[in-house]
Amino acid sequence: MAQLSLHGIKKRFRETAVLHGIDLEIGDREFVVFVGPSGCGKSTLLRLIAGLDPITDGEFFLNGQRMNDVAPSKRGIAMVFQSYALYPHMDVYENMAFGARLMGLSKDEVEARIAEAARMLRLEPLLQRKPRELSGGQRQRVAIGRALVRKPAVFLLDEPLSNLDAALRSEVRLEIARLHRQIGGTMIYVTHDQVEAMTLADKIVVMNAGRIEQVGSPRELYETPANTFVASFIGSPRMTLIDVTREGDRLSMKDGGGSLAPGALPDAAAMKLGVRSDAVLLTRGQGGEGFAGQVVYTEYLGDNAYVYVRLSDGTLLAARVGPNDGFEPDTPVTMTVAPGAAHFFSAEDGRRLAP
Ligand SMILES: Nc1ncnc2c1ncn2[C@@H]1O[C@H](COP(=O)(O)OP(=O)(O)OP(=O)(O)O)[C@@H](O)[C@H]1O
């Protein structure tokens, strides 16, 4: 059982403030993913939870027990690093046995745990190999196995897939998802890859510049982003944000390049209209209902295509179309928004506005 509570966690490295007060609850058996741009403090937060760096201010509780001053080895938390950090001179078996022996487990218990971890991670044929005789994906599985044999209550994984190529990434990603279902421990996973975040997480924590922007399920973050930062960060291609003014039930682009009526609107004179690529309706020609623009380029992806349009106010719009819709560069087009699919954000601070 592992339930984590973080209250007002701050971290400074000398003069540099990196975390500015993190409040977060993580439930037992949850798979939580920290995402955010490079340098936002994801790894730092993970290291504070592991006890590898001291917390400057705030409190961290694990199952109600204050952990701030508890040594890393006494926390019941295991961390898997992006670099694997395997011992090069030890074989796979010894790499996994090392930490377990330090815990004072009997020889039989160590053996039993390694056998179980090796079976779960399909490492049985590799136990006598040295790390240099393994592929990247196999090394990462050993690093996970080494954490597994300690039977920690909490697993911390810091960008565990970032050294792997695309095919291996999805393979090990499935492996980690399966492992989580099998062992049922609490997992905290750091990545800047939003596909990993969306596919693995029960709960995503979106971080930006040392603060939490939003916490929610992948669906909540995609469907109801709390602000323009989350709206742009979650979802690919990015949500397009257009500065608009409202008159009655119509929104106009600020340069006068057309207007549209996307349904119920929030009560504000100016706002940002957010549109995901799959909510854009694109027609050829200009002059009718909607915002005018010109096709810049098209990305063909086989099962569909993305058309990038420069709207008349300069905004770059991403629109998903069918693979055979063939919008040539420079084609004049008009966009509207599918009914009920528009997002609205404050023109002042970017917060989500309710219609
Ligand atoms: N030991 C340290 N001393 C000083 N500054 C540090 C130290 N460790 C991290 N930082 C700074 O803290 C900030 C957050 O770093 P952190 O590694 O937590 O970011 P991150 O979100 O994990 O980024 P990435 O996705 O690039 O790994 C960065 O500006 C980094 O330079």
Q: Is the CB of 40 under 6 A from ligand 1?
A: yes
In a domain, 44, yes or no: yes
Q: Identify the pLDDT of residue 194.
A: 85
Domain for residue 122, yes or no?
yes
Among residues 229, 254, 283, the one where a domain terminates is: 229
| Per-residue pLDDT reduced to its tens digit, 319-328 | 999 988 879 9
Any ligand 1 atom below 6 A from CB of 43:
yes
Q: Ligand 1: does its nearest atom lie under 6 Å from the Cβ of 235?
A: no
H helical segments located in the chain: 42-50, 92-102, 107-120, 136-148, 166-183, 194-200, 218-223, 228-233
The residues, ordered by sequence, that sit 6+ positions from 216 with a Cβ below 8 Å of its Cβ are: 203, 204, 224
pLDDT tens, position by position, 173-218? 888 888 888 888 899 999 988 888 999 999 999 999 999 999 999 9
Which residues are paired to 277 by β-bridges? none
Same-domain status, 54 and 149: yes
Q: Is residue 355 part of a domain?
A: no
User: What distance in Å separates the CA atoms of residue 110 and residue 177, rounded to the nearest whole number?
Assistant: 25
Q: Is residue 20 part of a domain?
A: yes
Cα of 233 from ligand 1 centre, angstroms: 19
pLDDT at 330: 96
Would you state the pLDDT for residue 184?
82
Do 283 and 181 share a structural domain?
no
Q: State ipTM.
A: 0.96
Distances, alpha carbon 123 to alpha carbons 119, 282, 293, in Å: 6, 51, 55
Strand partners for 87: none
- My answer on whether 185 and 111 are in the same domain is yes
Tokens at residue 165, please? 């190529």
If asked whether residues 272 and 332 sit together in one domain, one would say yes
The residue to mutate among 22, 43, 192, 213, having the most atoms of ligand 1 within 8 angstroms of its beta carbon, is 43
Give the structural domain span for 64.
4-229
In the beta sheet, which residues pair with residue 320? 306
* Start-to-end Cα distance in the chain: 41
Strand partners, 187: 31, 155
| Ligand 1 center from residue 54 Cα (angstroms) | 14
Nearest to 203 by CA among 192, 193, 211, 214: 214
Q: Is any atom of ligand 1 closer than 6 Å to the C-beta of 42?
A: yes
Choosing from 210, 229, 248, the residue where a domain stops is 229
In order along the chain (355 residues), what is the average pLDDT of each group of 10 residues? 95 95 96 94 95 96 96 89 83 90 87 89 91 87 88 90 79 85 90 89 96 97 97 94 96 90 94 97 92 95 94 96 90 95 97 95
In the structure encoding, which two tokens stand for residue 180, read together? 């989580």
Residue 290: which CATH number? 2.40.50.140
Q: What is the pLDDT of residue 148?
A: 85
Token match 């996970």: residue? 144
Q: What is the DSSP letter of 184?
A: -
pLDDT of residue 108: 92
In a domain, 286, yes or no: yes
Please indicate whether residue 140, judged by its CB atom, sits closer than 6 Å to ligand 1.
no
